[in-house]
């Protein structure tokens, strides 16, 4: 019996050692960061700058001559370093998906086609071992998005640190996600690895279903105190009231046009296109109707065989120059979101824009799209002190060495599972 108890205690000790670091404590004293190059997030760069924050809020920011009360403050000299706003990862399954091969860890999809009442909010898992690996690349905020069906549910925005979803959430139910049926359907043949493209015969029926559902939802929203309560229709009220975005997954130009016009028909003003591979073809329409685009993964081949091989990398800059508000996401693999900064780097290298403009695709633009720009997205007095310190260029693999990170002024422990594994096997194979 003693051996069994000792063995269980030993296992408990090993398990405890493998846990994620505890969430950061609230900021206890004023912090002043000096000497670094500050990338504000709105295109402005401040050399040898100063950032001060207290109780989680930025109290001062500017050049070396900026007056800051340093009484009882923790002053950190960051000469030669760079300060950036926390990166925001949109359109992901961060926190609601852990291990693809373990079904019990997948909480991003429900049965059924029309699920606007499904909320990523209460499914978000702050104990995910993926989340700390993202912080090490500078990702301090994430939008968790349900998947599956035609209407997947509502997304919420989280800080990547917290004891539970109540601690971590920054904005609840920021929008409803709709998958627009593509005009063309693609099927992959595993025998000869060929792709067949044909007209989507089910498309008209699906859109007709949308017409009925949205008409019902709008009529329901107009009723002051509906009885009985319909959870599905009640979840759509924010779209018609203008308090939520309608995120539409669409890639083809024809689909983008139809989806936006469909939303406008029902009085939905806040429409965001997710994916948008052919958004450039309808850029004037998007600009005119103030429709933002959240591009998916850029590190891939173009969708059409006759496209330039660099077309995907060039797309963000071209949309930006056309006057369309752009954000960059990593929508194909949740664990690869850690590479999100380098997608903006690729967009800079292959596009006619500055790295500061590309930085906005990961910070200020996502914040504006989701309606959280009064709190985060850029480094300005009065906003939350959600920022990071990197050894070099955050958008470059060689310079992206995050040394400090703060979420609402709280200093984040940057340890993660991959770093622990690195140290473990470094010691093993470093032995003689």
Contacts of 98 (CB under 8 A, 6+ apart): 105, 106, 125, 128, 129, 130
Contact 318, 280 (CB under 8 A): yes
The sheet with strand 151-159 has its strands ordered as 87-92, 139-144, 151-159, 169-179, 245-250, 271-275, 292-295, 326-328
- pLDDT confidence of residue 47: 96
Structure tokens at 282: 């309808």
Domain 87-376 CATH class label: alpha beta
- pLDDT confidence of residue 13: 44
b/e code 178-215 from CB counts within 10 Å (16+ = b): bbbbbeeeeeeeeeeeeeeeeeeeebeeeeeebeebbe
Distances, alpha carbon 269 to alpha carbons 11, 242, 286, 324, 400, in Å: 55, 6, 13, 16, 38
b/e code 39-56 from CB counts within 10 Å (16+ = b): bbbbeeebeebbbbbbeb
Residue 217 phi, psi dihedral angles, 5° rounding:
-65, -40
Q: How far is CA 7 from the centre of its chain?
A: 42
Q: What is the C-alpha to C-alpha distance for residues 327 and 138, in angstroms, rounded to an integer? A: 16
Residue 198 phi, psi dihedral angles, 5° rounding:
-145, 165
Contact 351, 103 (CB under 8 A): no
Q: What is the C-alpha to C-alpha distance for residues 37 and 53, in angstroms, rounded to an integer? A: 17
User: Could you state, in order of their start, the residue ranges of all structural domains in the chain?
Assistant: 20-86+378-432, 87-376
Q: What H or E segment, with its residue span, contains residue 387? A: strand 387-390
CA angle 63, 64, 69 (to 5 degrees): 100
pLDDT in tens, 140-167: 999 999 999 999 999 999 999 999 999 9
- pLDDT confidence of residue 432: 57
Closest by CA position to 252, among listed 339, 184, 173: 184
- pLDDT confidence of residue 173: 97
- Angle between the N-to-C axes of helices 253-265 and 203-221, in degrees from 0 to 180, rounded to the nearest 10: 30
Q: pTM to 2 decimals?
A: 0.91
- pLDDT confidence of residue 4: 46
Q: What is the C-alpha to C-alpha distance for residues 403 and 321, in angstroms, rounded to an integer? A: 33
- pLDDT confidence of residue 305: 79
Structure tokens at 411: 């200093």
Catalogue the E-assigned strands of 251-338: 271-275, 292-295, 326-328
Contacts of 315 (CB under 8 A, 6+ apart): 277, 279, 280, 295, 298, 347
Same CATH topology for 20-86+378-432 and 87-376? no
Catalogue the E-assigned strands of 63-204: 74-77, 82-85, 87-92, 139-144, 151-159, 169-179, 184-189, 194-199
3-state secondary structure 229-267: CCHHHHCCHHHHHCCCEEEEEECCHHHHHHHHHHHHHCC
Q: What is the C-alpha to C-alpha distance for residues 120 and 139, in angstroms, rounded to an integer? A: 19
Closest by CA position to 95, among listed 167, 165, 176: 165
Mean pLDDT by runs of 10 across the 432 residues of the chain is 45 52 92 97 96 96 92 94 98 92 88 95 94 95 96 97 96 97 82 80 93 96 92 96 97 96 96 96 97 94 85 95 96 86 93 93 98 97 98 94 97 93 88 64
- pLDDT confidence of residue 180: 96
Q: What is the C-alpha to C-alpha distance for residues 41 and 356, in angstroms, rounded to an integer? A: 7
- pLDDT confidence of residue 12: 46
Q: What H or E segment, with its residue span, contains residue 63? A: none
Q: Which CATH architecture has domain 20-86+378-432?
A: Roll (2.30)
């Amino acid at each position: 019996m003693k051996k069994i108890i000792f063995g269980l205690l030993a296992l408990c000790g090993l398990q405890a050692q493998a846990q994620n670091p505890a969430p950061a404590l609230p900021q206890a004293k004023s912090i002043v960061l000096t000497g670094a190059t500050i990338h504000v997030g709105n295109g402005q760069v401040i050399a040898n700058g100063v950032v001060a924050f207290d109780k989680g809020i930025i109290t001062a920011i500017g050049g070396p001559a900026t007056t800051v009360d340093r009484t009882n403050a923790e002053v950190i000299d960051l000469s030669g370093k760079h300060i950036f706003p926390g990166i925001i990862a949109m359109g992901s399954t961060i926190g609601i998906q852990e291990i693809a091969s373990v079904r019990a860890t997948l909480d991003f999809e429900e049965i059924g086609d029309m699920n606007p009442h499904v909320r990523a909010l209460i499914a978000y898992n702050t104990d995910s071992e993926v989340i700390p690996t993202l912080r090490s690349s500078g990702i301090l905020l994430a939008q968790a998005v349900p998947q599956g069906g035609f209407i997947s549910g509502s997304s919420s925005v989280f800080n990547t640190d917290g004891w539970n979803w109540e601690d971590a959430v920054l904005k609840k139910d920021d929008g409803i996600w709709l998958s627009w049926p593509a005009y063309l359907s693609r099927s992959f043949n595993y025998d000869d690895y060929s792709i067949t493209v044909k007209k989507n015969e089910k498309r008209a029926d699906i859109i007709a279903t949308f017409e009925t559902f949205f008409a019902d939802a709008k009529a329901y929203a107009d009723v002051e105190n509906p009885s009985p309560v319909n959870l599905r229709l009640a979840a759509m009220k924010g779209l018609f009231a203008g308090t939520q975005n309608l995120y539409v997954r669409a890639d083809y130009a024809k689909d983008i046009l139809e989806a936006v016009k469909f939303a406008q028909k029902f009085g939905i003003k806040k429409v965001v296109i997710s994916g948008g591979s052919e958004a450039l073809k309808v850029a004037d329409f998007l600009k005119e109707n103030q429709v933002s685009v959240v591009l998916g993964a850029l590190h891939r081949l173009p969708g059409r065989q006759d496209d330039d091989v660099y077309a995907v990398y060039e797309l963000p800059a071209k949309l930006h120059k056309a006057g369309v508000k752009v954000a960059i996401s990593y929508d194909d693999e949740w664990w690869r979101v850690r590479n999100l900064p380098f997608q903006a780097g690729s967009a800079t290298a292959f596009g006619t824009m500055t790295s500061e403009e590309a930085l906005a695709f990961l910070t200020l633009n996502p914040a504006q799209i989701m309606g959280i720009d009064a709190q985060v997205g850029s480094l300005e007095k009065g906003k939350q002190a959600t920022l990071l310190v990197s050894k070099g260029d955050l958008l470059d693999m060689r310079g992206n060495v995050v040394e400090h990170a703060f979420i609402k002024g709280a200093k984040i422990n940057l340890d993660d599972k991959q770093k622990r594994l690195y140290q473990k096997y470094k010691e093993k194979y470093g032995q003689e």
